[in-house]
Amino acid sequence: MSSKLKVTRSRSFSAHHMLIGAARAAVEDAEAKRPGWFYSQLTAITLCGLAIEAICNAIGKRIIPDWKDFESAGPNAKLRLLCDRLNVKYDRHAEPWSSARWLSKQRNAIAHAKPQVIEEEHIWTRDEYDRQRTDSPTSDLEREITLGNANRALRTAKDILLQLCQAIPVEYRLGLFSDAWEGSASAIRDD
């Protein structure tokens, strides 16, 4: 019996799988209102914004010669290019494309966050004051970080992945729609 094995393994890695998976876990934490659930919503939105670009890069590298020439383009430009190449209808005002545009804007707002002075003035009844007196004023960025938007971001990333994967030729799909690997092992003769 041989004590050594020759092992061969292969995997086509694409970061969008782990980004969408982490976003899904963050949405579950936010829905369950686990401690830090506001940050889980932020995490889901941010990671889905990154996942859209990772999806574009994974597919673009496979179907567009010299994709590296387009890597510095923004996610929306990459999506339009891929949709054009794959004959997928791209309507910036329809889903999932309108949400993808929103998501790209949110990703940029988070990545390039700027300080904001927030000043509010209200005339409240005593009951309104009692209900809201501990609520801090929120920035434009913070107002976008909601459970609804976290779910919207996750739906958008998953829908874009599905639409583009269904349009890509079958021979280029390995590792795009699901993260998988293959391998084999064989005994080596002990001579």
pLDDT of amino acid 190:
77
Number of Cβ within a 10 Å radius of residue 31: 14
pTM: 0.90
- Confidence category of residue 1, pLDDT binned at 50, 70, 90: low
pLDDT of amino acid 178:
86
Q: Is 165 helix (H, G, I), strand (E, B) or coil?
A: helix
Number of Cβ within a 10 Å radius of residue 49: 26
Number of Cβ within a 10 Å radius of residue 96: 20
pLDDT in tens, 54-105: 999 999 999 999 999 999 999 999 999 999 999 999 999 999 999 999 999 9
**8 A C-beta contact, residue 45 and residue 145:** yes
DSSP state of 112: T
For the segment 127-132, the average pLDDT, to the nearest whole number, is 95
Average confidence score pLDDT of the chain: 95
Better-scored residue on pLDDT, 191 or 163:
163
For the segment 2-9, the average pLDDT, to the nearest whole number, is 89
- Confidence category of residue 39, pLDDT binned at 50, 70, 90: very high
